[in-house]
Structure 1
Amino acid sequence: MPKTVDETKHAARRQMFLDCAEHLLQTVGYDRLSIQDILNATGVSKGAFYHYFDSKQDLLEALVDQTSQAIAENLAPISDDEDLAAVEKLQRFFATLAAWKSARRDLLENLLGVWLADENALLREKQRHAIARRIAPLFARIIEQGAREGVFASSYPEQEGWLVVSIIQDLNAAMASLIVSRDPQASDQAKRLSSACQEGVARIIGIDPQTFALVEPHLLSAWFGSSNGKDSQ
Structure 2
Amino acid sequence: MAGEAERAQDRRRPLLRTAEELFAAQGYGEGWFRGVRERGGISEEAFRREFPSPEDLMETLAEAMLEEALEAQSGVLEDPSLDAVEKLRRLFRGLAAWKLRRRAFFRNLALAAYREENLLLQQRLMGVMGKRMVPLTGELFRQGAREGVFSLSDPEEAAEQILWMLRGLGPRVATVLESPSLAGAEEVVRKFSAISRSMERILGVPEGALGLGALFRETLHAWFETLTGPEAGRADPGAL
Q: TM-score, normalised by structure 1?
A: 0.82
Structure 2: gaps spanning 5 or more residues? 232-240
After superposition, the C-alpha distances for 1:181-231 in whole angstroms (9 at most, x for unaligned) are 44552111122112111111111112234333323432111222354x468
Give the alignment's Cα RMSD to 1 decimal.
2.8
- Structure-to-structure mapping, 1:95-114, within 5 angstroms: 95-114=93-112
Q: 1:19 to 1:47 in 2, by over 3 A?
A: same
Q: 1:142 to 1:58 in 2, by over 3 A?
A: closer
Q: Aligned residue pairs: how many?
A: 229
Identify the residue that residue 201 of structure 2 maps to in structure 1.
203
- Larger RCO of the pair (alpha carbons < 8 Å, separation 6+): 2
Identify the residue that residue 192 of structure 1 maps to in structure 2.
190
Q: Partner amino acid for 2:28?
A: Y
| 2:128 paired residue among 127, 130, 133 | 130
Structure 1: gaps spanning 5 or more residues? none
- Structure-to-structure mapping, 1:20-99, within 5 angstroms: 20-31=18-29, 33-74=31-72, 78-99=76-97
Instruction: Give the superposition deviation at 1:137.
Output: 1.9
Aligned partners of 2:110 and 2:173 also within 8 Å: no
Identify the residue that residue 144 of structure 2 maps to in structure 1.
146
Distance (whole Å) between structure 2 residues aligned to residue 164 and residue 45 of structure 1: 43
Aligned partners of 1:72 and 1:135 also within 8 Å: no
Aligned partners of 1:79 and 1:139 also within 8 Å: no
Q: Partner amino acid for 2:25?
A: T
Aligned partners of 1:25 and 1:107 also within 8 Å: yes
Q: 1:172 to 1:98 in 2, by over 3 A?
A: farther
Q: 1:183 to 1:32 in 2, by over 3 A?
A: farther
Identical-residue share of aligned pairs (%): 31
Aligned partners of 1:75 and 1:138 also within 8 Å: no
| 1:117 paired residue among 112, 115, 118 | 115
Aligned partners of 2:15 and 2:36 also within 8 Å: yes
Distance (whole Å) between structure 2 residues aligned to residue 57 and residue 207 of structure 1: 39
SS in 2 for 1:150: coil
